[in-house]
Amino acid sequence: MPDIIVSIDQGTTGTTVLFVDAQSHVISRGYGEIRQIYPKPGWVEHDPQNIWDSTLKAIQEARQMARIQDKDIRAVGITNQRETTLLWDRKSQKPLTNAIVWQCRRTAPLIKSLKEKGLEELFVSKTGLLLDPYFSGTKISWLLENNPDLAPRAKKGEIAAGTIDSWLIWKLTQGQSHATDATNASRTLLMDLKTQKWDDELCSILNVPKAILPGIEDCTTLFGRTKSVPGLPDNVPICGVAGDQHAALFGQACFMPGESKCTFGTGAFMLMNTGNEPVASKNRLLTTMAWKIDGKATYALEGSAFIAGALVQWLRDDLGIIKSSPDIEPLAASVPDSGGVTLVPALAGLSAPHWRPDARGLITGITRGTGRAHIARAALEGIALQNVEILLAMEKDAGRSIPRLKVDGGASANNLLMQMQADFLGCRIIRPQLVETTGLGAAFLAGLGAGIFSDTTDITRTWKEDRTFNPTTTNEERAQILANWQQAVARA
């Protein structure tokens, strides 16, 4: 069984490792859960060692199931929760702090200060990003400012900073490589989107010494080679890296401008391929890298909803409305509609296109006749409707409609939710056979880097559809549904 690609998908709640063959078949998988740490309201952290341990667990579990020889493993790909950021000691190779997770809102005061200084336009023009606690740069700034002993060491270059891809590359190579790829770098508020280089002015504003930052590489370059990793042979090239949503766009074979995808994970993340020129958003979306291969950059428009699958977890763990996540579909389907209930899932604020970190979740329209099923259905509707707002803004920015939307991620298995998404958006929703397209995208990139795939046409041949969901609502019905939704959002 030759030409096996090891794809490491390090996500918010755990690490999945896929062993993928040259026909894009997943021959085995492993998983390691990671702990969520909440030091204060609105703060979210991960233990970097826990992330590494979960990665090792997942690698070894997948390797045991794969029944392959060392010589069969040709390449390693990495995809990761993007904006989650940490610092570590270059000499000891140990983390110096917990990682600040992308969901964390602790840098909101710094963001407010930057906006008050009139700096948002500068950041938007250079990075394509809005000023929000979501992104990595202010997290690095916060860590250095709030750990006074680290700032002098950072200026001397004794400290390494990075997103989770950089941390995994460092660990997989035993500290031989401190690197990131252009997609992860594009999420930091520190990289110029057009040059794909760290920007001196932005680094200075955020007090981030360039000496601590990783080198920025193409997505299919040689990032390093494995060394002393349990479950993997030495000297395997790490040659495919991209942030999770960029990897999902690639894994969905959205290689042509206008092709779009939505990943339903902890949050919901929508990207549209816009080709080789960045498209500036007029509707408060993000302009970002899609990928960079052989020196050629491909760009994307992005809109993210902070809460999607996490809303179902909340109904399960905190409200006890369901016992397991899959239970929400039959419960929601047991009633014909939400009974007038609207649920706005702003549990971590509202992201695109509103960008209101102070917004809070809202359930409205409750009557004495409201039951568990109505709230469950309203929750699914809320997930779909927040996506509609983002995708409509994306169509305006790109100047083109979205005739079909590819979907992936755990919640895309929910047929009722996918039908709602088709009805509310008014376009076809297409689900692939393999919904783990984030990990598959990392495998595709690594396969290109290792020469297993010759080009994107070679990859497209392996992509397979599972099911299409066609819209059943009229334009008038959709307009009324969206108007009711926007009234509720205004109150959140």
Contacts 24+ apart (CB under 8 A), 311-319: 311/343, 311/345, 311/347, 311/379, 311/382, 311/383, 312/379, 312/411, 314/347, 315/375, 315/376, 315/379
* Best CA proximity match to 331, nearest among 341, 339, 321, 340: 321
| Under 8 Å between Cβ of 227 and 173 | yes
CB 437 within 8 A of CB 242: no
* Three-state SS at 199: coil
Where are the domains positioned within the chain? 4-244
Which CATH number applies to 4-244?
Answer: 3.30.420.40
Encode 145-182: b = buried (16+ Cβ within 10 Å), e = exposed. eeeeebeebbeeeebbbbbbbbbbbbbbbebebbbbbb
- Burial class of residue 320, CB neighbours in 10 A (0-12, 13-18, 19+): exposed
pTM above 0.85, yes or no: yes
CB atoms within 10 A of CB 339: 17
Asked if residue 138 lies in contact with residue 207, where contact means CB atoms within 8 angstroms, the answer is: no
Name the β-bridge partners of 296. Answer: 293
CB-CB contact of 246 with 300 (8 Å): yes
Q: Are 161 and 86 contacting, i.e. CB atoms less than 8 angstroms apart?
A: yes
CB 255: neighbour CB atoms within 10 A? 17
Per-residue pLDDT of the chain (492 residues; tens, 9 = 90+): 579 999 999 998 899 999 999 888 999 999 999 999 999 988 999 999 999 999 999 999 999 998 899 999 999 999 999 999 999 999 999 999 999 999 898 999 999 999 999 999 999 999 999 998 989 999 999 999 998 889 889 888 899 999 999 999 999 999 999 999 999 999 999 999 999 999 999 999 999 999 999 999 999 999 999 999 999 999 999 999 999 999 999 999 999 999 999 999 888 999 999 999 899 999 889 999 999 999 999 999 999 888 898 899 999 999 999 999 999 999 999 999 999 999 999 888 887 788 787 889 999 999 999 999 999 999 999 999 999 999 999 999 988 888 899 999 889 999 999 999 999 999 999 999 988 899 999 999 999 999 999 898 888 888 889 999 999 999 999 999 999 999 998 887
Are 408 and 437 a contacting pair, CB within 8 Å? Answer: yes
Can you tell me the distance from the alpha carbon of 241 to that of 239, in angstroms, rounded to the nearest whole number? Answer: 7
Contact 246, 183 (CB under 8 A): yes
Separation between Cα atoms, residue 49 and residue 53, nearest integer Å: 6
